[in-house]
Structures are given as structure tokens and as C-alpha cells.
Amino acid sequence: MRGLSIILALGALAAVPAPVLAQHEGHAMPAPVPPPADPHAGHTAPVVATASPGPVDQQAWPENAADAVWGESVMAAARGHFYGDHTMVSQKIAVEQLEVLSGDGPLLWQADAEAWRGTDIDKVWLKFEGEGNTDEGPDDTELQALWSHAIDPWFDLQTGVRQDFRPGRDRTHLAVGLRGLAPYWIEVDSAVFLSTRGEVTARIQAEHLVRITQRLMLRPKVELEASAQSMPDLATGSGLTFLTAGARAGYRMTPTVEPYVGVEWQQALGETRRLHRAAAENAGSVRAVAGLRFVF
């Protein structure tokens, strides 16, 4: 039986056509194809340099590092040309207050103006203040001529002379002060004065612009004065002498013209207050004001 099975198998094989056998001759199971190589294999993401949150190392990054390559004199000349080409001279004239005030007697007036010309670093600065009444003319007028130098982005150091024009009571002063912008956008103007008579006085003003709308402005202002000695001819004692506070609401008709109304309170302090009372003068007052502010 076993021999018969072998014979039948051989016969079946012989019955298969030769072309069919030829089609599969030498065929085998194909080998698996490897995946294509990753073009980014071995690559890493670049490291992005970020700004250091800490202070700059002045030794690693000196302020004028190019001096070490080109020389200090060459780079100093180059910086001079750069600053000269990028320095702009500007100017401004501003009448901050030109107003009339209510009073018991004649109509009072008051003026406060300034003008300057120069660069962001150095300016020539003029300041004018005056007050009086319509019947007798100016009672107290002051003019300052100052050199102003920026000591940081916010404040200027101002030095110069101040001349007071008072009937029979003129004074000439040396003036040294600071002017600039304090935190919360408060404009500060302070100064110490030394007169030719050896009198030392001081004054500080603070003003804040509040924009109620694009055109409606409110300007509260405070001024404090002091003296190191008594000045009987000016009815001024030593220590704190005057405190003035007020607020003016203006309507900006144009970028340069702003009419306003407001109120101002002034009070003599300390020894000055006693001198005013002894002379039967008012030591304090509250006055309504109306005026105009404009700039050029």
C-alpha cells in the first residue's frame, strides 16, 4: 500500500503542466522591507537664548566694550558724532495761569508762566510769577533765569538767579532746585533761595493732571513755603510761612488753549500768621478763580 501511495503522488506531479511549475520556480517568502531612514535622526532642537532676568554683568558686558578694540579716543569721537547727529533742540512757552481772583476789595490778578529752550539734557529756563490788583498794579513780581540739566530720566537740576520786584522790597537770590515728575505723574518743582542779604528761603510745588475726559481737565495743586529767618519788611516769620492749595477745572478747546475755573485757599503759618494778625491783615483766604491756560 505504501508503494502504491508513492506511485500515485508521482503520477499527480507528472500531470502538472510544466509552465505552471516554471512560474513558481525559485520563489520564496519575501523578506520584510526596512522602514525608510528618518531624515531628522540624530538632530536636536536648537537652544534659544533668552534674556537673563537678573542684572547685566558689567565685567562681561562693559558699557563701552568697543574701546578695547578701536581705542578710547576713536570711540569717544564716534560717540560724539552720534550724539550730535541725534540731539534735537526744542522750545516751549507756557502760560500756566493767567487769572482773576475774587476778593474783598479791588479785583485781584495772578500770573504764572515759563519758557525754555534746549535739548533733553540741557535747557535754558525762564520762570515768571506775578500778582496784584487792578487798582494799584503789580504787588509782587518774580523772574527766574535758570540752567536746567537732566540728572536722570525724571528730574532736572536747576540753578540760576531769581529777581523779586516789590515796591521798596526788591531782592536778588541765588536759586538751586529740582524739577521733574514724581511717581503717580505728580509734577514737582522745588527750590532753595539765598538772597544777597543772606536770607534763606525754600518753596515746593506739586501738581497733578487728572483727565476727566479727553477735553475736561482737573489740576489740583499744592504749594508750601518756608524761611530760615524772620523778614519783617516782607511780613514773613521763620519756619513754615505759607500754604496754598487749590484746584482748577479746565476745558481744552484746542491743544494749546484751555479756559478754566476753580478755587484757591491760602493760609499763613506759624510766626508769619502772627505777624499778619498783628498788622490787622488776613492770615488766610478762600478765593474763586477764573482764567486761561495756553502754550506755544
Average pLDDT of adjacent 10-residue blocks, the chain of 296 residues? 44 44 44 51 48 53 81 85 77 96 82 96 96 83 97 96 89 97 96 96 98 97 97 92 98 96 96 89 90 95
For residues 113 and 131, the answer to whether their CB atoms sit within 8 Å is: no
Nearest residue to 84 via CA among 41, 114, 121, 112: 121
The pLDDT value given to residue 71:
87
**Cell for 117?**
529752550
Q: Which of 180, 124, 193 is nearest to 151 (CA)?
A: 180
- Phi, psi for residue 8 in degrees, rounded to 5: -65, -40
pLDDT of residue 38: 52
Q: Read off the DSSP letter of residue 68.
A: H
Q: How many degrees, rounded to 5, is the angle at CA 121 between CA 119 and CA 123? A: 55
Q: How far apart are CA 121 and CA 268, in angstroms?
A: 37
Count how many Cα atoms sit within 13 Å of the Cα of residue 287 in the half-sphere of its side chain.
20
**b/e per residue, 232-261, with b = 16+ CB within 10 A?**
eebbbbeebbbeeebbbebebeeeeebebe
Q: Residue 162: beta bridge partners?
A: 144, 173
Nearest to 183 by CA among 220, 154, 212: 154
pLDDT at 107: 82
Helix (H) or strand (E) holding 69: helix 67-70
pLDDT at residue number 35: 53
The sign of the CA dihedral 48, 54, 56, 60 is negative
Q: Which domains does the chain have, with CATH numbers?
A: 90-295 (2.40.160.40)
pLDDT at 45: 47
Burial of 264 (0-12, 13-18, 19+ CB in 10 A): buried
CA–CA distance, 244 with 191 (Å, rounded to integer):
16
Q: pLDDT value at position 125?
A: 98
d(CA 98, CA 130): 10
